[in-house]
Amino acid sequence: MALRGTLSRLLRTQFSTTCQNRTHSVAVLGAPFSKGQKRRGVEHGPKAIRDAGLIERLSNLDYPVHDFGDLSFQNLDKDEPYMQVPFPRSVGRANKLLSEAVGSAVASGHTTVMLGGDHSLAIGSVEGHARQCPDLCLIWVDAHADINTPLTSPSGNLHGQSVAFMLKELQNKMPELPGFSWVKPFLSAKDLVYIGLRDVDPGEYDILKELGIQCFTMRDIDRLGIQRVMEVTLDHLLSRKQRPIHLSFDIDAMDPSLAPATGTPVNGGLTYREGIWITEEIHNTGLLSVMDLVEVNPVLGASREAVEVTASLAVDIIASSLGQSRQGGLLGPLGIPETRTNTQNMQLE
């Protein structure tokens, strides 16, 4: 009994330090994978983002950075489509590997950055994170909701279905796909917020409505302003308790003029400053635990510049999520002191 008490206390301490005291060190993990969709090139995303100076930029922030390099994904020669879904076994297997890698980076106490690759990788990334931190919440920044099921998906592509694998509420709507027997739904609809939506399929619309998922479309951002959107987002997820945040950032959330090198661009996206505001506010909570930066596709840039601006925007978004500030200086922020809401104050103490 005594031993059991000690063990559970030990596990509890381990658990709370793993899942709460963030940003002592950063782990970077590349996932060069593209079979969640049909266009080639997105597997070169991690290299493009590293070449744009990611590691150097993160080294200028205040904590050690561990670059764990890129995972290596095996090619399966036989991977026939299942219910119009291409490459199910390859996507399932890659995500299992990624889940284990993210899980162990989180268990080692690192704030973890996953570089994609296509957005199907969020399945493994969020799942691995949730195994370590079961009470995490998810902020999905994207032009798309990626919440199709194999039955509603117009394209079949798994990068448009990642969230459907996670949600407990969709369990009965998800067929068993080959390669995915290891994933059991782990997230509740109330623990998810979308920001930046502007291209939602009819089946996705029905799911979002039915489950009452908190969404901020581009129209909501125009109407409320990004400051209010983040206030409501963080309030929705954190007002009851402090919990680890998983940020899944699809580069196509940004306007295509800023992020042209991506597979499914949609006009009318986030401005540079809206993107940075989102990540600064998430950093300010002190609760960011894992982030994904996905869908940078260097092959789809019309020119070298187009690829470089996209990759360097990805670097800015990551650095800002991890504390790079626009207010500089060790002597405290410039500008007018900010008054914060109660929720935000609670996080900052």
**Residues making contact with ligand ARG (CB under 6 A):** 119, 144, 146, 148, 153-155, 157, 159-160, 201, 250, 252, 264, 295
Q: Tokens 């219910």 label which residue? A: 83
* Catalytic-labelled residue, pool 159, 280, 283, 292: 159
Q: Is 295 a catalytic residue?
A: yes
Residues 143, 147, 238, 290: which binds Mn ion (CB under 5 A)?
143
Q: Is 169 a catalytic residue?
A: no
What does 289-320 look like in DSSP terms, one character per residue?
EEEEEE---GGG-SSHHHHHHHHHHHHHHHHH
Residue 312, binding choice from Mn ion, ligand ARG, none, Cβ under 5 to 8 Å by partner class? none
CA distance 40 to 298: 10
* Catalytic-labelled residue, pool 252, 255, 280, 281: 252
Q: Which residues are annotated as a binding site?
A: 119, 142, 144, 146, 250, 252
Which of positions 113-142 make contact with Mn ion (CB under 5 A)? Answer: 119, 142
Q: Which is nearer to ligand ARG, 117 or 244 (CB)?
A: 117
CA distance 111 to 169: 28
Residue 156, phi-psi category: left (phi > 0), alpha (psi -120 to 50), beta (remainder): left
Q: Is 280 a catalytic residue?
A: no
CA distance 73 to 337: 48
* Catalytic-labelled residue, pool 70, 79, 118, 146: 146
Which residue number is nearest to ligand ARG in terms of Cβ? 160
Q: Which residues are annotated as a binding site for Mn(2+)?
A: 119, 142, 144, 146, 250, 252
CA distance 31 to 154: 26
Site membership for Mn ion, residue 292 (CB under 5 A): no
Q: Is 142 a catalytic residue?
A: yes
Contact 25, 64 (CB under 8 A): yes
Q: For the window 240-259, what string marks contact with Mn ion as x by the rule CB under 5 A? A: ----------x-x-------
Return the bridge partners of 51, or none: none
Q: Which of 138, 108, 112 is nearest to 123 (CA)?
A: 138
Write out the residues near Mn ion by the rule CB under 5 A.
119, 142-144, 146, 250, 252
For the annotated catalytic residues, the residue numbers are: 119, 142, 144, 146, 159, 250, 252, 295
